C-alpha cells in the first residue's frame, strides 16, 4: 500500500508533467501555464470506493496541507464511516444496484440504505449523484423518490453514464448512454414523484425495445 504522501506527490507531479507538454502550443500563454501548474482541486471519485483506502483521512489531510480542495464520492457501502457528504445513488432497487455497481458485500442493499439514512443527520450540505444507465436504472423514478425521502439531500446531481469502452461492464453507447433530453425527462419525472404524483415517464424514452 502506498503511503498518502507518495500518492499525493506522484499525482501532483504527473499533473504538472501533463501541463508542461502544452508549453509552446499555439494560444497557450505563460500565465495560463503557470496557473495550470498549481493544483487546486482533487476529485476522489470514479476510481472505485475511495474510503476503502485505510489512510484516506491522512490522504485528504495531505491534500489540504497543500491547499488543494477535495471532492470525495462514496458508493454508500460503509455507513459507519460516512463522514463524506457526496453519495453515488446508482440505482433505486436491490436488483438494479447489483447489476450496475456489482457490489462486493452480500448485505450491500442494507449498507446502502444505512448510508443514506446516516447522510440525513449531517449538518453540512449533502448531495446525491445519480448516474443514469438506459435499460438498467431509469425506470425506477418512484423508488428513487423514496430514497430521496430517506436521505433528504440538499442537492441531486443527475447525469448520464459515461461510455468508457467495451470493457465497462458490457455497456455500449447505443443502448445504455441516455441522450440529454432523456436525462431532462427523468429529472422532471423525479420532481413530479417527489410532489406526490405518479411519475410521467414516456416509456419509449427509457425502453428502446
User: Domain coordinates of the chain in residue numbers?
Assistant: 1-45+56-69, 75-208
How far apart are the C-alpha atoms of 164 and 142, rounded to whole Å? 29
> DSSP E strands: which ranges in the chain?
41-44, 69-72, 86-88, 127-132, 155-160
Q: How far is residue 143 CA from its own chain's centroid?
A: 19
8 A C-beta contact, residue 190 and residue 155: no
Helix (H, G, I), strand (E, B) or coil at 62: helix
Distances (CA, A) of 195 to 173, 187, 188, 191: 33, 13, 11, 6
Query: Given this model, what pLDDT does residue 202 score?
Result: 52
CA 15 – CA 6 distance, rounded (Å)? 14
- Please give the pLDDT value at position 208: 37
Burial class (CB in 10 A: 0-12, 13-18, 19+), 169: middle
- CATH topology for the 75-208 domain: TIM Barrel (3.20.20)
Q: What is the pTM of this model?
A: 0.62
> What is the per-residue pLDDT for 145?
92
Cβ atoms of 131 and 160 closer than 8 Å: yes
pLDDT of residue 186: 93
**Crossing angle of helices 4-20/30-37, nearest 10°?**
170
Split the chain (209 residues) into runs of 10 and give each run's mean pLDDT: 94 93 87 90 78 86 92 70 71 87 86 86 83 89 92 90 68 87 92 72 43
Decide if 108 contacts 77 (C-beta within 8 A): yes
Amino acid at each position: 500500500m502506498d503511503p498518502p504522501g507518495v500518492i499525493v506527490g506522484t499525482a501532483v507531479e504527473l499533473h504538472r508533467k501533463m501541463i508542461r507538454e502544452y508549453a509552446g502550443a499555439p494560444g497557450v500563454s505563460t500565465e495560463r501555464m503557470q496557473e495550470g501548474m498549481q493544483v487546486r482541486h482533487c476529485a476522489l471519485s470514479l476510481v472505485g470506493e475511495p474510503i476503502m483506502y485505510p489512510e484516506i483521512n491522512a490522504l485528504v489531510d495531505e491534500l489540504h496541507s497543500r491547499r488543494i480542495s477535495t471532492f470525495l464520492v462514496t458508493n454508500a457501502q460503509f455507513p459507519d464511516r460516512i463522514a463524506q457528504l457526496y453519495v453515488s445513488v446508482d440505482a433505486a432497487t436491490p436488483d438494479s444496484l447489483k447489476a450496475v455497481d456489482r457490489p462486493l458485500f452480500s448485505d450491500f442493499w442494507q449498507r446502502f440504505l444505512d448510508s443514506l439514512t446516516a447522510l440525513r443527520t449531517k449538518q453540512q450540505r449533502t448531495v446525491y449523484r445519480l448516474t443514469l444507465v438506459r435499460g438498467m436504472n431509469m425506470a425506477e423514478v418512484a423508488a428513487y423518490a423514496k430514497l430521496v425521502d430517506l436521505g433528504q439531500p440538499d442537492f441531486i446531481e443527475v447525469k448520464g453514464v459515461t461510455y468508457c469502452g467495451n470493457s465497462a461492464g458490457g455497456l455500449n453507447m447505443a443502448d445504455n448512454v441516455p441522450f440529454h433530453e432523456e436525462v431532462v425527462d427523468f429529472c422532471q419525472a423525479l420532481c413530479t414523484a417527489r410532489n406526490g404524483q405518479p411519475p410521467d415517464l414516456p416509456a419509449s424514452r427509457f425502453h428502446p425495445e
